[in-house]
Amino acid sequence: MKKDLLGLAGKVVLVTGASSGIGRGIARAFAEAGSHVVLAARRVGHLEHLARQLRRKRVRVLVVPTDVSDKEQVKRLIRETIKHFRRIDILVNNAGILEYEPFLSITDESWQRTLDVNLRGYLWVGQEVARHMKRKKRGVIINVASIAGYGAFPQIASYNISKAGIV
């Protein structure tokens, strides 16, 4: 039997943006450590595929398709997680979008979409989970930012600004 050196075995971990990239890797790492994982993102097919892989690690996995820019979907995500697991020990706020646009070409629509997912989504998911954690008197919230939040990269100004907001 593997030792639980990190104290993560049996923890309930909610990962937003879990369908690909960093979020997918984070979910895998927690499952590998023995944590039960809630997978949240918009692309349900990707989530279901990942869930099948993670269940082979003998951990419980819940898939909740969620657009974090929609407050009602965020509330449903937290309700379903609490109903299924009775708690959330760790939140990894990771959902994000990146649109390649030169600064002078940013449209109102793309600007709003980026801020809604990359900032407002973090706020809404964080608030809902923090309310639960406050009642339980424990929990950890991890907000994933980016090096782009520390300096400007050409062609992704909206993303730079949104990640700076997280930092």
Give residue 1's pLDDT: 44
Q: In what order do the strands lie in the sheet with 61-65?
A: 61-65, 36-41, 12-16, 90-93, 140-143
Residue (of 94, 95, 99, 88) closest to 129 by Cα position: 88
Give residue 2's pLDDT: 61
Give residue 138's pLDDT: 95
**Distance of alpha carbon 64 from its chain centroid, rounded?**
11
Handedness of CA 146, 151, 153, 158 (dihedral sign): positive
Tell me if residue 65 falls in helix, strand or coil. Answer: strand
- The answer to whether 159 is a known catalytic residue is yes
Handedness of CA 53, 3, 21, 144 (dihedral sign): positive
**Distance of alpha carbon 108 from its chain centroid, rounded?**
25
The CA-based angle 40-30-60, given to 5 degrees, is: 65
For the chain, report the end-to-end CA distance as a whole number of angstroms.
39
Structure tokens at 21: 């990239």
Give residue 90's pLDDT: 98
Catalytic residue among 100, 122, 150, 159: 159
Please give the chain's pLDDT, 167 residues, in tens.
466 767 899 999 999 999 999 999 999 999 999 999 999 999 999 999 999 999 998 999 999 999 999 999 999 999 999 999 999 999 999 999 999 998 899 999 999 999 999 999 999 999 999 999 999 999 999 999 998 888 888 899 999 999 999 99
